């Protein structure tokens, strides 16, 4: 089973729509080198979604 990882991006790597609202960093969930979530606006949000995804994969 592939592990879910959290990747942070900063500066110009942050989507323009988030930069326009003042965010200078965002987070993505990654599995096997591919993003499995859209940009998340906080690390706690990324951690919560990661736990939810990992829990769902154990129950499947």
Q: With helix as H, strand as E and coil as C, how does 7-36 read?
A: EEEEHHHCCHHHHHCCCCEEEEEEECCEEC
Phi, psi (degrees; rounded to nearest 5) at 34: -120, 140
The pLDDT assigned to 60 comes to 57
Please give the model's pTM, rounded to 2 decimal places.
0.86
| pLDDT level of residue 31 (50, 70, 90 thresholds) | very high
Phi, psi (degrees; rounded to nearest 5) at 3: -90, 140
| pLDDT level of residue 19 (50, 70, 90 thresholds) | very high
């Amino acid at each position: 089973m592939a592990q879910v990882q959290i990747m942070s991006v900063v500066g110009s790597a942050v989507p323009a729509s988030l930069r326009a609202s003042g965010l200078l960093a965002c987070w993505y969930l990654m599995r096997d080198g591919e993003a499995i979530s859209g940009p998340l606006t906080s690390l706690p949000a990324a951690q919560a979604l990661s736990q939810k995804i990992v829990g769902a994969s154990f129950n499947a």
